[in-house]
Amino acid sequence: MSERYPAMPPRNPNPPYKRIATEEAWLTPEIMALYKKEISEKTINDPGFNQLWGFFAGDSDMAQNQQRRIQSLGADRLADMDASGIDIAVLSLGSPGVQLFDTARATALAAESNDQLAEAITRHPDRFVGLAAFSPLDTDNAAKELERGVTKLGLRGGILNGHTLGTYLDDEKYWQVFEAAEALDVPIYLHPNMPSKQMIEPFLSRALDAAIYGFACDTGLHALRLLIAGVFDRFPKLQIILGHCGEALPYWLYRIDFMHSRIAATGRHPNVKPLKRRAWDYLCDNFHYTSSGVGWEPPIRFVQDQIGVDRMMYAMDYPWQFVKEEVGALDAMDISDAAKKAFFEDNARKLFKIA
């Protein structure tokens, strides 16, 4: 039996790999100020946002430290990376990013954020890589901003922070951004948002709405909606990234595949049609996974064993789960040197085209 709380040994001071952390959050000062304004004025009817950011946009010492870290694109972040043994951080706009706001404002904020991120990468090109924000419900401009971010600013993919005001992107009218990602040959990171207003109520009274459980429920739901809607039949080369060891979907791989095939075959639901491949295949071939927030060997090895060593990447989930000692635990994983190098470095270099 494994230890209930596994030990975290010191990290390897001279590993035969670079450590690339692939789900590291940041926010612009402008967006942080808007979050505080919306909370103060009580103008956002989003219970999950109000519960989570109502605390982290506040004045407590913990909240202030979180705000300092998440807004840093310089000395504070680099110092934390050095203290943790992180060589390169893949930065993306923290949840809910621009997706809290109306379409026009979200589009403008996404462009401003992408410009700021590109400038920071220019200052620290050997330490930072970035993903482009976009306004998912802006069908005219979402794909254009992703393309601008990649082709003009040098960003390496897109960040989709879950649902947008309760809307998921399985409706075909929002698929231009997936078409653009496939054409650009870049991934989209499907990062958690708080559960939508439609589903969050039972989570709130026990604070289950965020990272402890709600994030996985909502993000896994979004991923499966995309799969079952046929996104990957339309765009077979599209790659989606899921954090937190896959939001539990790898564990449910057999049952998702079995039940989807039965529902589709019976024709009992008008919105569930047979797909070109098995649900199993899409979850193995069109998704990459990261360890964000899971500094524990067994689930990481499960994804490597069942999905593929070439599909699992390291992430810390900074600053939300800043546990600098976890790198030592993962350095010590009982896996081959090649699998460890793939996990920490090679897979991220390939997917994000990091030279």
Active-site option among 138, 317, 331, 346: 317
138-to-72, 134, 150 alpha-carbon distances in Å: 28, 8, 18
pLDDT one digit per residue (tens) for the chain, 355 residues: 455 666 789 999 999 999 999 999 999 999 999 999 999 999 988 999 999 999 999 999 999 999 999 999 999 999 999 999 999 999 999 999 999 999 999 999 999 999 999 999 999 999 999 999 999 999 999 999 999 999 999 999 999 999 999 999 999 999 999 999 999 999 999 999 999 999 999 999 999 999 999 999 999 999 999 999 999 999 999 999 999 999 999 999 999 999 999 999 999 999 999 999 999 999 999 999 999 999 999 999 999 999 999 999 999 999 999 999 999 999 999 999 999 999 999 999 999 999 9
Quote the CA–CA distance of 132 and 93 in Å, as a whole number: 8
Whole-number Å distance between alpha carbons of 227 and 90: 25
pLDDT tens readout for residues 44-62? 889 999 999 999 999 999 9
DSSP collapsed to 3 states, 90-115 = EEEECCCHHHHCCHHHHHHHHHHHHH
User: Is 115 a residue of the active site?
Assistant: no
CA-nearest of 153, 82, 75 to 112 is: 153
Indicate the pTM of the whole model.
0.97
Q: What is the DSSP letter of 208?
A: -
